[in-house]
Structures are given as C-alpha cells and as structure tokens.
C-alpha cells in the first residue's frame, strides 16, 4: 500500500513518507491513526491532550493517550500555557514511549484560546519559547510544535515565533497556513508557509487544505517544505496517503474494518462515533443520499453492514 517510500528526517524523527496525518480532536483516535498508517501516513498524532489533565492523571485524559504499535511513528500532542506544568506533563507522556511529543500552539477554539493556550501563545513569543524550551529539556524524545501563521493579519509574527521555537531546540515545526482569527475560513496561505520553510533552521511541515495525493506532492514541491500534513482531506479518504484509487469493494471493506476497530475501542457506542467518518467515506458518491440517511440512523453494526451491502450491490459508490 505504501508506494510513497521517500524516507526523510525531521530532526531526530525518521519517517518513511513525507505525507503525515494532522492531529484532529474527535477524529484522530487510535482506530483512525492505525488506518492512516496502514495507508502509508508518515506519522500519526493524537488529538490535543491537556497538560493539566495529564499531570492530574484525569481518567478521560488517560484514555486519549492510549495507542498501539500499529500507529507508530506516533506523536502525542499536549497543550497548556504553564511552562512547568508542560514540562512535567511531557515527562509523564515520555514514559508511554511515543516517537515524539508535539506542542499545540495553533488551536483556535475559544475555550482553549481564552485560557491563553493553543493559538493564544502566538501572541507571546517569549512565553511560547519558554514552554518549548522546558519541554525539550524535560524529555529525550524529539519535540515539535504546531503553529498557525499568526493571531490575525495585523500580527503576522511567524518569524519571531519560528525563531523562538528554533532557539528552544525543537526538532521540527508544523505550520497551518491560517491565522487564528480565520479559524477555518478562507484559504491556507502557502506563500507564508513557503517563506517559513525557506528561512527556518529546522524542517517545516506545511499544512492546510490538501485535498488529494497530487495536491500533497504539488504543495510540498512548491513550498519547499520537508513534509506536508493532511487533516480533513484524510477523513473518509485514507487512500490520500498512498495515492491508490480504491474500488467499490475496497471502500466498503475499509468502512467495515474501521467500524469494527471503533467498536473494539469504544464498545457499541463506536457505531455512533463512526457516523462522522461514514458520511465522509460516502460523500459525493452519486445516488448515495438515500443510503446516507439510513446509515446515519443505524444504531447497530449489523444494520450498518446490511445497508453497506445494499449500497454495494446498487453500485452506488
């Protein structure tokens, strides 16, 4: 499956494909990460995990940290704004043996930013640098940071941000080419990403709006990034990492395997949690609307499998 075997080094992290999975809360859980890896993703990352929650050993937080060998190379992403707590959390996370630790400096949600965390750190390069330096010092595994290009268009301070991260000793930096104020609107600014990649002393991973395998390679070539990160484009389309064009049967098989992995991980509730993936797997397929409505109402595995069987026989995908 992995026909994209150009090994690269991101500082001390070595990966076999430059197309990597983006962290996405509610999506990049253990089942989805192993699927992305099976299709050739260069690495996978957990969703953002609270450093405070890690230090307090919160039960829900602990579950977010679980992963299997199949997901490696795997990064655990932590967020917070207290340099000491971040260092302590990183030390705890390191005992789980991830392949790297990523620091969230780009989350745009109101809840995270109003607490001075995520993308809010972009407004304070000194604090951001201190957090990164503390985490780097606290662990032996590679450390990366994921940023946006700035807080808003009147403060595009990515040069200061990147310098602070380099000075802190991070292994690589992932850049989502939007400002915090854009949230997910507009387009990712790949010109700024290219400028960062050109000037940075560490490898840069470009991120934003990659919708296909060809897109990924074009963006990588044009921006000069060491690698590219794919988020929404991988949901319902893990083949984006290999460039393979799946047949109808392969798509149905993948959906059922994903569903089974969700049930194994979450219990029967996995069927409900699978819905957001299901709609993406069948998104855009001609004549699938009627099946989609039924799939979104199904509460049990056997119902979903039955409807997928009908959909397959009707040749609707």
Query: Where do contacts with ligand FMN occur on this chain (CB under 6 A)?
Result: 22-27, 47-48, 77, 104, 106-107, 146, 176, 207-210, 230-233
Q: Kindly tell me which of 34 and 207 has the beta carbon lying closer to ligand FMN.
A: 207
Position with the least CB separation from ligand FMN: 231
Q: Kindly tell me which of 25 and 256 has the beta carbon lying closer to ligand FMN.
A: 25
Instruction: Kindly state the smallest distance separating residue 303's Cβ from ligand FMN, in Å.
Output: 26
Q: Kindly tell me which of 103 and 133 has the beta carbon lying closer to ligand FMN.
A: 103
Q: Kindly tell me which of 22 and 311 has the beta carbon lying closer to ligand FMN.
A: 22
Contact 247, 239 (CB under 8 A): no
Instruction: Kindly state the smallest distance separating residue 14's Cβ from ligand FMN, in Å.
Output: 22
Active site residue 107: yes
Q: Which residues pair with 270 in a beta bridge?
A: none
Instruction: Kindly state the smallest distance separating residue 277's Cβ from ligand FMN, in Å.
Output: 12
Contact 67, 30 (CB under 8 A): yes
Active-site residue (options: 107, 108, 113, 225)? 107
Enter the tokens of residue 109.
Answer: 């949600």
Coil, helix or strand at residue 105:
strand
Instruction: Kindly state the smallest distance separating residue 108's Cβ from ligand FMN, in Å.
Output: 8
Q: Is 95 exposed, middle or buried (0-12, 13-18, 19+ CB in 10 A)?
A: exposed
Contact 54, 39 (CB under 8 A): no
- Nearest CA to 210 out of 259, 165, 176 is that of 176
Helix (H) / strand (E) containing 170: none
- Annotated catalytic sites, by residue? 107
């Amino acid at each position: 499956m992995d026909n994209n075997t150009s090994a690269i080094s991101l500082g001390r992290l070595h990966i076999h494909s430059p197309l990597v999975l983006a962290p996405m809360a509610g999506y990049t859980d253990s089942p989805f990460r192993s699927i992305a890896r099976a299709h050739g993703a260069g690495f996978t990352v957990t969703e953002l995990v609270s450093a405070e929650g890690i230090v307090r050993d919160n039960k829900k937080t602990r579950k977010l940290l679980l992963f299997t060998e199949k997901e490696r190379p795997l990064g655990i992403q932590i967020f917070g704004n207290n340099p000491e707590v971040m260092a302590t959390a990183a030390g705890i996370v390191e005992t789980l043996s991830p392949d790297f630790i990523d620091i969230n400096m780009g989350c745009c949600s109101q809840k995270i930013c109003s607490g001075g965390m995520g993308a809010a750190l972009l407004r304070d390069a000194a604090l951001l640098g201190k957090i990164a330096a503390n985490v780097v010092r606290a662990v032996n595994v590679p450390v990366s940071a994921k940023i946006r290009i700035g807080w808003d268009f009147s403060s595009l301070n990515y040069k200061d941000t990147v310098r602070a991260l380099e000075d802190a000793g991070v292994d690589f930096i992932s850049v989502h080419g939007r400002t915090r104020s854009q949230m997910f609107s507009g387009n990712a600014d790949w010109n700024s990403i290219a400028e960062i990649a050109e000037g940075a002393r560490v490898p840069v991973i470009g991120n934003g709006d990659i919708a296909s395998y060809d897109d990924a390679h074009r963006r990588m070539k044009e921006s000069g990034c060491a690698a590219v990160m794919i988020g929404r484009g991988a949901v319902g389309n893990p083949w984006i990492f290999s460039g393979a064009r799946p047949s109808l049967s392969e798509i149905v098989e993948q959906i059922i395997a994903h569903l089974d992995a969700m049930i194994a991980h979450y219990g029967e509730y996995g069927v409900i949690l699978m819905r957001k993936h299901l709609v993406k797997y069948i998104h855009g397929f001609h004549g699938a609307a009627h099946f989609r409505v039924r799939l979104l109402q199904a509460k049990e595995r056997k119902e979903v499998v039955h409807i997928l069987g009908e959909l397959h026989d009707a040749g609707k995908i």
